[in-house]
Amino acid sequence: MPNDKKSLETDFLQLARIALAGRAQDIHVLLHRTARRYRAEASDFADAITSLLREAPTRASPLRRQVETPLPVDTESRLHLLRVEQTPALEHDPVLAPNVSTSLGLLIKERKQPDQLHAVNLEPTKTALFIGPPGVGKTMAARWLARELSKPLIVLDLAAVMSSYLGRTGNNLRQVLEYAKSIDCVLLLDELDAIAKRRDDHAEIGELKRLVTVLIQQIDDWPSSGLLIAATNHPDLLDPAIWRRFEAMIDFPLPDETTIKAFVSERLAPYLPNVSVWAGILAIAFKRKSFSQIETELSAQRRAAAVTGASLEERLGALIQPDSLSKTERIELATSLVDAGVVSQRGAQQLTGVSRDTIRDHAKKSSAERKRRLSAP
């Protein structure tokens, strides 16, 4: 029938297009889809395709021709434009906000259960934009994703891509993305706003605006087999057309008190017997700080304890800076310090500026609330 012929022609042309582009993983996806589409009308044809896919050499098979493609370099400086982490490693798993954890979990499930998506003619998410201030875990989350998916992580070195001759920067960008398309990987474009600024920004010269066009074209052609992640600290600087190219947008907020407590507990557990007490106190003291700021301050106090002979608890006390807290937060901190036995009421007053009467009153209310909860059926 004419419609069947048209569908076959469309499938064949699409197959030819991605085969010529060298996107082996996308060829597999298209063939799986074709086998499903024609199974009812041409079961032998569909079975033959399925059999070929099952018998096809994989990346681990010695039958597969191994092609070592050199990393792209800047033609002038000869610097590598990419950093490759073949087996991404993490000192510790990221502590993530619930919405971030859920979103990342879905990305992993999509990649590990492609058949469920293919059954309803969908593909896994191929592009995601990570948004948030510096130090909230965007890069670590990309590394964690790559590790969980057992794929190499490729990180774009924007300092190297931005050539001193702007006319070459577009070529550098094309080199990077074409290379990443050719392998099964997670690609991280860090600090996307450096090259994807709004094209109506009159402060930018024409060549930088053309970079946005190059980037849009490359994202549109990104294969579904790969996962492209971009991260930005300044989403307001991004060109609107860039926003529309990403299928998933994940907002990484500054950690809240619960998340900070979990992070501090994880980082200090090996060194502090009463870590739960200090985690609760520092969760208040570290409000509105990023993970990287918290990590830096904890490491500094651990070093200071090691070289001065002071206890880690003494050094952690130096992290309590009540001036950065609201009145309510200072009262909460003072009460927590007294309840935990870290300082006396007088010491809490000196440290936080909260009167002892206020500390006592708040402690009584907290105690009454705890009793009420315990006695509730």
Q: Do 362 and 339 sit in the same domain of this protein?
A: yes
Q: Do 26 and 114 sit in the same domain of this protein?
A: no
Q: Do 105 and 215 sit in the same domain of this protein?
A: yes
- Rg, Å, the chain Cα set: 27
* 331 found inside a domain: yes
* 332 found inside a domain: yes
* 149 found inside a domain: yes
Helix (H) or strand (E) run with residue 83 in it: strand 82-85
Query: So what's the pLDDT on residue 54?
Result: 58
Q: What is the mean pLDDT of residues 135-148?
A: 94
* 299 found inside a domain: yes
Asked if 200 and 240 count as a contact pair (C-beta separation under 8 A), the reply is no
Residue-range definition of the domain harbouring residue 145: 82-251
Question: In CATH, what number is assigned to the domain containing residue 243?
Answer: 3.40.50.300
* 76 found inside a domain: no
Q: Do 243 and 94 sit in the same domain of this protein?
A: yes
Q: Do 90 and 221 sit in the same domain of this protein?
A: yes
Name 249's bridge partners: 129
Q: Do 136 and 215 sit in the same domain of this protein?
A: yes
Q: Do 309 and 343 sit in the same domain of this protein?
A: yes
135: left (phi over 0), alpha (psi -120 to 50) or beta: left
Query: So what's the pLDDT on residue 114?
Result: 85
> Which of 7-11, 90-94, 109-113 has the lowest average pLDDT?
7-11
* 74 found inside a domain: no
**In total, how many domains does the chain have?**
3
Residue indicated by tokens 């906000």? 97
Query: So what's the pLDDT on residue 62?
Result: 35
Q: How do residues 26-56 score in pLDDT, each as one tens digit? A: 676 677 777 777 777 777 777 777 777 655 5
Q: Do 89 and 190 sit in the same domain of this protein?
A: yes
Choosing from 222, 251, 280, the residue where a domain stops is 251
Asked if 248 and 107 count as a contact pair (C-beta separation under 8 A), the reply is yes
Asked if 231 and 192 count as a contact pair (C-beta separation under 8 A), the reply is yes
What pLDDT band is residue 100 in, cutting at 50, 70 and 90?
very high
Residue-wise DSSP of 168-216: HHHHHHHHHHHHHHTSS-EEEE-SGGGT-B-TT-TTS-HHHHHHHHHHH
Query: So what's the pLDDT on residue 148?
Result: 94
354 has pLDDT over 90: no
* 62 found inside a domain: no
d(CA 282, CA 316): 8
The mean pLDDT of the chain is 78
Q: How do residues 333-353 score in pLDDT, each as one tens digit? A: 777 777 766 667 777 777 777
Name 153's bridge partners: 85, 186
